[in-house]
Amino acid sequence: MITVDQLAKLVEGVVEGDGSAVITGMAPLSSAVKGDITFALSEKDFMAAVDTQASCVLTTMGAPALPKTLLRIKNPKTAVTILYNAMTEIAPPPEGGVHPSAVVSAKASIGKNVSIGPNVFIDDGSVIGDRSVIEANSVIGKGVKIGEGVRIAANVTIYKGVKIGSKVIIHAGTVIGADGFGFITKDGRNYKVPQMGAVIIEDEVEIGANSCIDRATFGDTFIAKGTKVDNLVQIAHNVNIGRNVLIAAQTGIAGSATIGENTMMGGQVGIADHAKVGSNVKLAAKTGVSGRVPDDVTLFGYPARDARETKKINGLLSLFARNASEIKRLIRGTMANEPEQKD
């Protein structure tokens, strides 16, 4: 239970109206009901907010007065985010219950207030922590450990032995614990390297939709607390990712690579196997990294270079393109490999 006044403190906002009103949820204007805090951040929204049933309207400093309890803030995006996270903390537990169509092994251990959706399968020896939600048609393999307050969306596959912390979110279609990609080629045949390790995902990690995190060959593939992974990301066997890393969509991290803390990757980044990427590194979208990357650098390009160097090179390439004929003539005039008549 939280009041408008308490929320105002969190976001350094100014209350107009009933600061003692109790807020129990958060919703956009189109669906907000009594008890909700909603938001009106544009001219159009101000009009619509007149009719909302919401108990409080978050709005800008300059918005007109409205016949509602208002919470005015300076930085709307940050404020909405802070409020959303605060509301999540105080949200009541899900009602819980196992849908009759779900198949839950008698040898699995299901916590309190756990919700298990239709057509879910939970195999022997799995443990699902209190207040966790497993949505429809997901599959939880043998001996999987899932912490408290976890949300696993629909059509997710968790292979045997994977360990997932608390307050983790895994979006639909994601696969955790499939075999790593390892083969030894001998006498013209590819022999499969055994993939007998596990995957450990710590608390407060979020994984997007249709991503893949492979189990380790031996040991563990590891994702530390607070790291967030987008959609269609590939994290290979034995990768080790530090805390609070942000990994945008379609990025691929190859086998045994390590990533430090707070590092950020744009979309479609590629990190080669056994690369060692430091902390607080920024990798621009599509950057291709191999080898060792020190802390605190910003890289861009394929192959990856310091972002300023890549920008300098791209400027030179534009200059070359504008002067292509002259450059060709210069090179052909002075150098042995390019006889003039070739043009």
Catalytic positions, written as ranges: 237
Question: Is the CB of residue 82 less than 8 Å from the CB of residue 11?
Answer: yes
103 counts as binding its own copies under rule CB under 8 A: yes
User: Using CB under 8 A, which of 99, 274, 276, 282 touches its own copies?
Assistant: 99
Q: Count of H helices and E strands in the chain?
A: 5, 41
| Residue 63 found at the interface with its own copies (CB under 8 A) | no
Report the alpha-carbon distance of residue 136 to residue 282 in Å, rounded: 37
Q: DSSP state, 85?
A: H
Among 208, 242, 260, 278, contact with its own copies (rule: CB under 8 A): 208
Q: Distance (Å, rounded) from C-alpha 310 to C-alpha 297?
A: 13
- Among 1, 43, 337, 341, interactor with its own copies by CB under 8 A: 337
Give the separation between CA 27 and CA 313, rounded to whole angstroms.
48
Query: How far is Cα 15 from Cα 12, in angstroms, rounded to an integer?
Result: 10
* Cβ-based nearer residue to its own copies, 28 or 111: 28
94 vs 267, beta carbon nearer its own copies: 267
Beta-bridge mates of residue 36 = 25
Helix (H/G/I), strand (E/B), else coil: 331: helix
What are 121-128's contacts with CB under 8 Å, separation 24+? Answer: 123/160
Q: How far is the CB of 153 from its own copies (least distance, A)?
A: 7
Is residue 188 within the footprint of its own copies (CB under 8 A)? yes
Under the binding rule (CB under 8 A), the answer on residue 185 touching its own copies is: yes
Considering only 129, 226, 242, 260, the residue that binds its own copies (CB under 8 A) is 226
In this structure, which long-range contacts are made by residues 246-252, counting pairs with CB atoms below 8 Å and at least 24 apart in sequence?
Answer: 248/285, 249/208
Handedness of CA 13, 17, 22, 25 (dihedral sign): negative
Query: What would the two tokens of residue 194 be?
Result: 């055994």
CA distance 285 to 29: 34
In the bound state with its own copies, the residue whose beta carbon lies nearer, of 20 and 33, is 33
Residues 137-166 that bind its own copies (CB under 8 A): 137-139, 141, 153-157, 159
Whole-number minimum distance, CB 322 to its own copies, in Å?
5
Any contact of residue 82 with its own copies (CB under 8 A)?
yes
Site for its own copies in 258-317 (CB under 8 A): 262, 266-268, 270, 272, 285-286, 288, 290, 301-303, 305, 309, 312-317
Residue 35 binds to its own copies (criterion: CB under 8 A): no
Residues 191, 183 contacting (CB under 8 angstroms): yes
Compare residues 4 and 41 and give the one whose CB is closer to its own copies. 41
Could you tell me the smallest distance in angstroms from the CB atom of residue 115 to its own copies? 13
Q: Under the criterion CB under 8 A, does residue 80 sit at the interface with its own copies?
A: yes
Contacts of its own copies in 309-328 (CB under 8 A): 309, 312-324, 326-328
Distance in Å, CB of 168 to its own copies, minimum: 12
Helix, strand, coil percent content, the chain, rounded in steps of 5: 15, 30, 55
Query: Measured from the CB of residue 64, what is the shortest distance to its own copies in angstroms?
Result: 20
User: Is 236 among the residues that bind its own copies (CB under 8 A)?
Assistant: yes
> Cα 315 from chain centroid?
33
Residue choice 1, 65, 106, 184 for contact with its own copies (CB under 8 A): 184
58 near its own copies (CB under 8 A): no
Residue 200 token pair: 């450990």
Closest CB to its own copies among 143 and 147? 143
